[in-house]
Structure 1
């Protein structure tokens, strides 16, 4: 048998540091005045006009996160491996080949890279606010400047790379913290345990993100505010770049959980076996399937996972049968489950389709057709929704939380809200947005249920549906020195609404109360002060920040409002 034909072996391109750019960046070093010796740039969140946040909680600040990981991965490790530790000709060859074949031979000279290679390090300084800080919109959390007069262009050359690697972890960390604010507020309002909020936002986003690297960095941003996650690589990232240690601290965690393929296979296999049993002769397919599903759930809670926590996706066929019939029939089995080492013995039911607000909280009376002021029921006992004319069963009118309460009961918090028995709970992870989470929590509170009855899976519909424009991140040059002459650089397009107006000259950022305040057109001496501290210089990371420090800084940056103090502008 002939061996497969393979293409001729050639050296892979890999990640060449200077190729990680837009083509137009490659020509800019030649376009700056030849006598330029100094260049300074800043990276700034310029606007929140497209941000998917709740106005009642958003205070015009973003969470700054991701710089340390970027510096270590790219400016240190990648530069060392693919540039400075390589022979000069090899280090430059891939870049020169790409420029010559795409832009034309000699269009971009190799001399600058050859000189940089001879220097032996990246002559760049980065100053930054601490990661985990919440930075006011229009205030730069980071600035770049060259440290050698022969290489001013390094301050702006990596704009594309830095932007594409940095805007999203910071954006996701910001949105995650907005969820944290919402959940903290309702926990305080309804008397749910504050520590439970750590688990109440759970990262479900990995499968919908733009690759593993995207998922791990954004998943790390989520873990600044929560500990619940299904994005395994995020924990690896935080251990690799943020001094986390899963053996000494809780970086992130999850619980055993089923998916539809598991449930459908086991239910349908059990159904086939039941159908062959003469004892079930005459039962219709639907009834057999319900028996099969009950048996599968029983196996899950009493045999497969007889202790601790387990999550069961419950809408493979009929969610309402699961939470009203099966949950009742298996009550003794569920209550008999043993606690794990942390004292948990909970079965979490997971709906995964339909309207999450209605599934969890049911319908208000004023959302149903009424007669004489009361919801009207037809001959089959169903109601009719005013919106769309949908038929609504009694279980759907109550919602999943109330259905489980009727079976299992629970406790009442100090604030007077009902909490389900600790053996049962609910998680919903299908298209949960901040407005939907707010609606669910408000409606539960209106029915007398505490926020701690539900966990939200936050997926790529929230974390992935963003862009650099979500917070308007941009890197712009702000200062230069040309032949000894200082130039304050800025842009202010007449055709813009002010969003793109950039900072001007050397900068200083000061902490004033709860805000970071930008001071522009500073002297060199003034620019040395303030809160922007050197974190990288000439190829060296100057300081390290741990996940624990960043989490602590972030949590201390916001004070939860008093219960009842928020007046929501939207009725849910």
Structure 2
């Protein structure tokens, strides 16, 4: 079993096998005389009209900055031979002998953290070595997975804008914004890699996470000592282990173990009867909460989210009291609520709107979001695609595109493309080059929004999470 696991790890780290089966046969399918290829990635639209670009650096560091080896080629040759696909062994051997195993492709991309309207080029991939021009398409499977961190980062950025609007209307403290949506998604994803990549993407916009692998990925791939933070929190097992008769003792233990001045202690309180638990917190335990100097965060974890949050905050207000802030909204004393059940973009807005209508500031609520954050999305959420848009045949570039009569929404772009940004207005526009690109640059108002991030095995841009966050914040409405 241990040998099998090591073997699986080896296979997963072989870029030649990190593709679709039919890609192995494509080198035989292009026109005679083809010597170069150009492809691009875009979001064709979807749930959001703008995407926050993030995650390409992770993919490049993990998969493209390692050289192809003879052993990898042997492994791929044996697999495809048994699998029923031809294999370009000489092409891959050429990469090892000519380039020391590093892929001779050039990748250009928008800056990570940039928020770009959909239907624009986000990434381009070009290979101009006639021997292996097909690489620009072969690595599509690997590179297009950037859809996942981009989509998670996009959703979290839009959630940040939503919560910020309610804070601006009801709160005196915008500084709490980065901690208002907390990542609970680790157990709900399909793999450890998803937890790492998606969890890191959420941290472009927020600083709270219980997804350890996501925090580690952000630290590792984006040069950050510590990308996110968490607090001691109870789960149902740590409460129910005391038995129903010992429920109040479980709560006392939480205060005893973690209740310190300035600390935050989160306690799930619906193991049996939420309303009975709220009475415990507001009577027998009230003074202990106050004396601890900590902020107690109650987590109701069942029931209709809007109704339960309002009832919980109302009960806590009655027990602990509240103050009226400068915007005229109530802020609870000593306690807060974290809603972690049934949380998504729609329920967050419903809850915040209900609190505002009831006269409570957004300060009183934090959201923990799990499956809706990291799992309940797919490549079609933002309709991501990577397509070849130009090939060089007989020393001349040829524009190519797909244009299906059955679905105009799948029409692809053609030509060698780049993305321009207007220095004055901030608008973006995808154009072909060199002619259209050069003409716009001459006008002086436009600049190239793509930069070369990878070339021939070398990572040319190594951005920090701090830079990504600052860039994303600059796009806030």
CA separation of 1:11 and 1:444: change in aligned 2, threshold 3 A: closer
Q: Secondary structure at the match of 1:255?
A: coil
Q: CA deviation at 1:525?
A: 6.7
Q: 1:510 aligns with which of 408, 420, 434?
A: 420
Q: Does 1:31 align with 2:7?
A: no
For residues 185 and 293 of structure 1, what CA distance do their matches in structure 2 show?
A: 38
Q: CA deviation at 1:6?
A: 9.8
CA separation of 1:7 and 1:93: change in aligned 2, threshold 3 A: closer
Q: CA deviation at 1:11?
A: 5.9
Q: CA deviation at 1:73?
A: 0.5
Q: Are the aligned partners of 1:352 and 1:428 in contact in 2 as well (CA < 8 Å)?
A: yes
Higher mean alpha-carbon deviation, 508-517 vs 308-317, is at: 508-517
Q: Does 1:236 align with 2:216?
A: yes
Q: Does 1:138 align with 2:119?
A: yes
Larger radius of gyration: 1
Matching residue of 1:542:
460
Q: 1:520 aligns with which of 432, 438, 445?
A: 432
Matching residue of 2:284:
329
Q: 2:326 aligns with which of 411, 414, 421?
A: 414
Q: Are the aligned partners of 2:431 and 2:437 in contact in 1 as well (CA < 8 Å)?
A: no
Moved over 4 A (4+): 5-13
Matching residue of 2:295:
346
Instruction: Kindly provide the CA deviation profile for residues 362-398 of structure 1, in whole angstroms up to 9, marking residues without a partner as x.
Output: xxxxxxxxxxxxxxxxxxxxxxxxxxxxxxxxxxxxx
Q: Are the aligned partners of 1:302 and 1:334 in contact in 2 as well (CA < 8 Å)?
A: no
For residues 299 and 486 of structure 1, what CA distance do their matches in structure 2 show?
A: 71
Q: Are the aligned partners of 2:11 and 2:17 in contact in 1 as well (CA < 8 Å)?
A: no
Instruction: Kindly provide the CA deviation profile for residues 169-207 of structure 1, in whole angstroms up to 9, marking residues without a partner as x.
Output: 110001111110111000001024111111110000010
Structure 2 unmatched ranges of 5 or more: 442-446
Q: Does 1:126 align with 2:107?
A: yes
Structure 1 unmatched ranges of 5 or more: 52-57, 272-288, 339-344, 362-398, 560-572
Q: 1:101 aligns with which of 68, 76, 82?
A: 82
For residues 474 and 219 of structure 1, what CA distance do their matches in structure 2 show?
A: 22
Q: Are the aligned partners of 1:506 and 1:524 in contact in 2 as well (CA < 8 Å)?
A: no
For residues 212 and 505 of structure 1, what CA distance do their matches in structure 2 show?
A: 38
In angstroms, what is the RMSD of aligned CA positions? 2.1
Q: CA deviation at 1:9?
A: 12
Q: Are the aligned partners of 2:195 and 2:374 in contact in 1 as well (CA < 8 Å)?
A: no
Matching residue of 2:251:
297
Q: 1:185 aligns with which of 160, 165, 180?
A: 165
For residues 414 and 351 of structure 2, what CA distance do their matches in structure 1 show?
A: 45
Q: Does 1:531 align with 2:443?
A: no
Q: 1:207 aligns with which of 187, 199, 203?
A: 187
For residues 426 and 184 of structure 1, what CA distance do their matches in structure 2 show?
A: 18
For residues 3 and 456 of structure 2, what CA distance do their matches in structure 1 show?
A: 41
Q: 1:500 aligns with which of 370, 388, 410?
A: 410
Q: 2:141 aligns with which of 150, 160, 166?
A: 160
Matching residue of 2:365:
454
Q: 1:258 aligns with which of 234, 238, 244?
A: 234
TM-score by length of 1: 0.78
Q: Are the aligned partners of 1:187 and 1:451 in contact in 2 as well (CA < 8 Å)?
A: yes
Instruction: Kindly provide the CA deviation profile for residues 515-564 of structure 1, in whole angstroms up to 9, marking residues without a partner as x.
Output: 321123653974997111111101001121110000000011022xxxxx
Q: CA deviation at 1:435?
A: 1.0
Q: Does 1:18 align with 2:16?
A: yes
Matching residue of 2:444:
none
Matching residue of 1:377:
none
Matching residue of 1:444:
355
Q: How many residues align?
A: 464
For residues 172 and 355 of structure 2, what CA distance do their matches in structure 1 show?
A: 12
Q: 1:115 aligns with which of 94, 100, 105?
A: 94
CA separation of 1:444 and 1:328: change in aligned 2, threshold 3 A: same
Q: 2:43 aligns with which of 10, 21, 45?
A: 45
Instruction: Kindly provide the CA deviation profile for residues 112-150 of structure 1, in whole angstroms up to 9, marking residues without a partner as x.
Output: 111111112311000011000011110011100014232
Matching residue of 1:285:
none
CA separation of 1:8 and 1:463: change in aligned 2, threshold 3 A: closer
Q: Secondary structure at the match of 1:551?
A: helix
